[in-house]
């Protein structure tokens, strides 16, 4: 498996640790437009359905900030590295500024259009197709209202912007319990085709720079280790479920092939496949090598044990169990954990993903951001 060098890692650590993160970067990308799910949602879901509570956001924002983590997400860290402000969620009506891009991602979103309600299945109504339509609306309004003084992107920012797509995990996991891995595999080609079609649609709107994230190793996530059916012999020496990770690898190969094909019909575009799976799998398999103490154990959860995850009491929530009121609380040292709440990474883990993304060595084709931007420290 391809990894980034120790020397490069030290350089990136110094970049991220430097305190001077208020300097504006010189960067080829004046904006970021992001499409995704909870892995990159900076507050869209909670703007539509306000309810998020602590301890989410405890590490960086010191309050719930609409992110499914203790702190910043990869999209936040990427924006800071490019010298851009955090992306405003498209659905956020108060305080949004879209001059440097917008975030269409919402927690629980899928690539494919959901066939059921959020209140029945927990799946967001804002699927990738809906997010694309929101992007089209933002572009059309920005072009027609460009002289109005509103905080909207300038017309040329749409062509010069970076477009990031980090979605698909919920398509993969939402039906695993009911139809199993074999059933899910049957519709994965439709998922990757929809992502590639979205790249083409954005290209037709003028977009030229794309980074598409593959899926993380869900077989290592505490929530899925607790909830998905598996036999003891299916768990490897790192504590991960082999069959589920192999299915993710199959999906990732499909996605890479599909993006390779789409490059042939989008001349002049950078279409980059980023191997997030490799980064996170490396953390789960060798946590102490990367400065972590816990791999498949959630920081915020209830139940203790090797996973500290109870599906009945999600992070920050309370519930009466066996006559006793219990609360899923956060650990005091999230920087030592890869998993924040059993489903999403901690800010500390997100930094490792960001380092690899900026370096470009785990991207296909290689895409080193330092060739395009004067990368800024992100603290």
* Domain count along the chain: 1
For position 232, which CATH number holds?
3.40.50.1110
Residue with tokens 């020397």: 7
Q: Would you say residue 302 lies in a domain?
A: no
Q: Are strands 162-166 and 209-213 parallel, antiparallel or unpaired?
A: parallel
- The DSSP string of 125-152 is S--HHHHHHHHHHHHHHHHHTTTS--S-
Taking the C-alpha atoms of residue 258 and residue 177, their distance in angstroms, rounded to an integer, is 27
38 included as an active-site residue: yes
Angle between helices 347-359 and 276-285 (to 10 degrees): 130
**Residue 335 domain flag:** no
Q: Which of 76, 142, 339, 344 is an active site residue?
A: 344
Is 171 a residue of the active site? Answer: no
**Nearest in space to 308 (alpha carbons), one of 293, 323, 289:** 293
Distance CA 276, CA 254 (A): 15
- For residues 264-274, b (16+ Cβ closer than 10 Å) or e, as one string? eebeebbbbbb
Give the torsion sign (CA, 158, 124, 129, 133): negative
Torsion angle, alpha carbons of 131, 135, 140, 142, to 10? 130
Which two three-digit tokens encode residue 320? 């009466």
CA nearest 29: which of 79, 69, 68, 77? 79
Indicate the SS3 state at residue 271: strand
The H or E element spanning position 4 is none
Q: Is residue 40 exposed (0-12), middle (13-18) or buried (19+ Cβ within 10 Å)?
A: buried
CA distance 27 to 12: 17
Return d(Cα 55, Cα 62) in angstroms, integer: 8
Query: Residue 258 catalytic?
Result: no
For residue 342, give the nearest of 228, 223, 245 by alpha carbon: 223
Structural domain includes residue 337: no
Answer whether residue 378 is part of any domain.
no
Query: CA of 229: how far to CAs of 120, 248, 310, in Å?
Result: 22, 16, 15
* Active-site residue identified among 38, 40, 69, 196: 38
Beta bridge mates, 320: 325
Asked if residue 94 is part of any domain, the answer here is yes
Q: Please report which helix (H) or strand (E) contains residue 60, including its range.
A: none
Residue 254 lies in a domain: yes
Whether residue 296 lies inside any domain: the answer is: no
Q: Which domain holds residue 134?
A: 6-288+350-359
Please identify which of the residues 70, 341, 359, 363 carries the catalytic annotation.
Answer: 341
Q: What is the pLDDT of residue 177?
A: 87
> Residue 61: inside a domain, yes or no?
yes
Edge-to-edge strand order for the sheet containing 363-364? 101-103, 32-36, 162-166, 209-213, 270-274, 363-364
- Containing 213, the helix (H) or strand (E) segment is strand 209-213
SS3 31: coil
pLDDT for res 114:
93
Low-confidence spans in the chain with pLDDT less than 50: 1-24
Peptide bond into 324 cis (omega under 30): no
Could you report the per-residue pLDDT of 321-360, keeping only the tens digit for each?
989 999 999 999 999 999 999 999 999 999 999 999 999 9
Q: How high is the pLDDT of residue 118? A: 84
């Amino acid at each position: 498996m391809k990894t980034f060098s120790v020397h490069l890692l030290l350089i990136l650590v110094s970049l991220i640790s430097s305190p001077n993160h208020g300097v504006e970067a010189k960067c080829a990308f004046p904006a970021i437009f992001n499409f995704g799910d909870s892995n990159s949602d900076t507050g869209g879901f909670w703007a539509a359905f306000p309810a998020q509570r602590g301890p989410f956001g405890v590490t960086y924002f010191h309050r719930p900030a609409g992110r499914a983590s203790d702190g910043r997400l990869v999209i936040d860290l990427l924006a800071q590295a490019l010298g851009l402000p955090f992306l405003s969620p498209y659905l956020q009506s108060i305080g949004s500024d879209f001059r440097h891009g917008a975030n269409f991602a919402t927690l629980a979103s899928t690539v494919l259009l959901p066939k059921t309600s959020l209140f029945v299945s927990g799946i967001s109504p804002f699927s990738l197709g809906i997010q694309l339509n929101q992007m089209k609306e933002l572009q059309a309004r920005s072009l027609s209202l460009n002289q109005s003084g509103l905080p909207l992107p300038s017309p040329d920012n749409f062509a010069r912007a970076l477009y990031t797509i980090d979605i698909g995990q919920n398509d993969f996991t939402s039906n695993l319990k009911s139809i199993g891995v074999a059933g899910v595999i049957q519709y994965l080609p439709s998922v990757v085709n929809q992502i590639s079609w979205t790249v083409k649609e954005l290209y037709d709107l003028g977009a030229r720079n794309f980074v598409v994230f593959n899926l993380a190793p869900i077989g290592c996530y505490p929530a899925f280790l607790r909830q998905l059916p598996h036999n003891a012999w299916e768990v490897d020496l790192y504590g991960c479920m082999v069959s589920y990770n192999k299915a993710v690898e199959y999906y990732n190969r499909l996605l890479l092939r599909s993006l390779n094909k789409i490059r042939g019909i989008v001349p002049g575009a950078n279409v980059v496949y980023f191997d997030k799976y490799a980064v996170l799998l490396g953390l789960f398999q060798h946590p102490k090598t990367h400065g972590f103490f816990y791999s498949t154990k959630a920081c915020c959860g209830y139940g203790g044990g090797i996973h500290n995850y109870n599906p009945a009491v999600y992070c920050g929530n309370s519930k009466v169990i066996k006559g006793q009121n219990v609360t899923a609380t956060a650990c005091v040292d999230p920087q030592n954990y890869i998993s924040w709440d059993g489903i999403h990474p901690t800010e500390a883990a997100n930094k490792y993903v960001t380092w690899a993304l900026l370096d470009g060595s785990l991207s296909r084709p290689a895409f080193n951001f330092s060739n395009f931007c004067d990368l800024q420290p992100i603290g």
